Amino acid sequence: MKRLLVFVVSDSVGETGDHVAKAIISQFRPSFEETIIRRFPHIQSEELIRKIVHLAVKQNALIVYTLVQQEMRTFLNELCEKEKIHAVDIIGPGLKSMAAFMEEIPLETPGIVHQLDDDYFKKIEAIEFAVKYDDGRDPRGLLQADIVLIGVSRTSKTPLSQYLAHKRYKVANVPLVPEVDPPDELFMIDSNKCIGLVISPEKLNYIRKERLISLGLNDDAVYAQHNRILEEIKYFEKIVDRIGCQVIDVTNKAVEETANVIIEYIATYK
């Protein structure tokens, strides 16, 4: 059986060329016996292309390439023809057809898909982080978070955590209750990344009563009583003073509005 050596040349990480090369090879050698695939990623200069072609000549390799810049594709193709090396252009024909169909010129920017994938996975990671460290479940998350939200119950800590997570921020939140000491980790973090959320007693009284009613409970429970709310807010102010963190009044703010204020604030100290 003839030995097969394939060079995958890409101006990005080379995953597309690698997958396509394997899909083609599998139609001839399902077990990939006597087959070697070597990837050459981030190739964006004619000098590197010349070296790869020279190596392909020396080792009798087939070149499969995914180069988005037409100038680079043309250079590689002409060099392969000159050296009588077989080369397969994976992305060029598709770009040409798409450009003709859309009547637009391609960006020819390497690695866009990979950048989008990275962005997607960062967002998923942030969302999972927000769920894991919601409501003070695990104080260890405070030390890993980009943003830490603190406040009394019903100040939109969880919705804010999720909204900010979609913006790729790792957010943990801690509810403040007078009867429960905050975790030690809360006083170990950089105060600049801690945000206190405060709300007017009247608004909080209304929100808590509505919450109790939605749960089928009486709206006169201690949880919604005015004196209890004042006690919780006083305790909140005590903790905030100890940390020395920024405080945002969320009384008349939508989650998106509060999130934008937080993002702008966080950006100022990074």
Binding site membership for ADP: which residues?
A: 151-158
The amino acid occupying position 18 is: D
Phi/psi at 65 (5° precision): -130, 145
Sequence-separated (6 or more) residues with CB below 8 Å from residue 180: none
Q: CB–CB of 129/145 below 8 Å?
A: yes
Annotated binding residues, as ranges? 151-158
- Ramachandran class of 70: left when φ > 0, alpha when ψ lies in -120 to 50, beta otherwise: alpha
3-state class (DSSP) for residue 214: helix
Cα–Cα distance measured from residue 148 to residue 161, given in angstroms and rounded to the nearest whole number: 9
DSSP string computed for 70-95: HHHHHHHHHHHHHTT--EEESSHHHH
